[in-house]
Amino acid sequence: MTTQRLPFPVPDERAHYFVTGYADMHDLVEDLVVPDGVPEAAAAVLRTARELLRQSYYCYEFSTVAVMHSLIAVEIVLRDRIPDAGKKPLHQLIKQGATCGILTARQAEYLDDGRKIRNRLVHGHTAHAVMPPAMAVPMVATSFAIVSELCAAPTCR
C-alpha cells in the first residue's frame, strides 16, 4: 500500500490580494470574539468560522465555508430562543424570530439571504462559490453580532 504524503500548505496566490502574509490574517479576524453567554455549541461553531477565515490564506475557498458555518451558530441560538423550534426549517425560525421581536427586520433579511446562498450550495444548485475574505469577514462578523444579541434577548413567547 502506498501512502500519499500531502505537501505543507502554501499560500493561495489569491491571498495576496487582501493581505501580505499569514500574520495579517490575525488582524483580519481579531475583532471576531465569541461573547460571554453564548451556548458552547454555538461558540464552538463561531470559533471554527473564525479559524476558517484565517486559514483562507492557504485555501481561499475557506472564506465561503466560514460564512456558511457562521450561519449554523445563528441557527443553534435561534433554536434555543424559540420555544417549540423542534425540526422547523431555518426559514421558519427566521420568520418566527422576526415576528416575536428577537430579530430585527434587517437581521431577518441578512439571515434569509445567507440561508438562500447556503441552500444553493448544499443542494447542488451552485457547484462552486468563492467569496473573497474581504467580503466574508463582515458577513461572519454579522453572525457573531446576531448570536450575541440573540443570547441577550428574552426567549420568544
pLDDT digits (tens, 9 = 90+) for 80-124: 999 999 999 999 999 999 999 999 999 999 999 989 988 888 877
pLDDT digits (tens, 9 = 90+) for 132-146: 888 899 999 999 999
Owner of C-alpha cell 502506498 = 2
Put simply, whether the predicted model's pTM sits higher than 0.75 gets the answer yes
What is the chain's mean pLDDT, rounded?
92
pLDDT above 80 for 127: no
Are 156 and 83 in contact by the 8 Å Cβ rule? The answer is yes
- Among 49-63, 121-135, 140-154, where is mean pLDDT lowest? 121-135
CA nearest neighbour of 112 among 91, 131, 130:
91
CB proximity list for 148: less than 8 A, separation 6 or greater: 35, 38
Q: Is it the case that residue 56 has pLDDT exceeding 90? A: yes
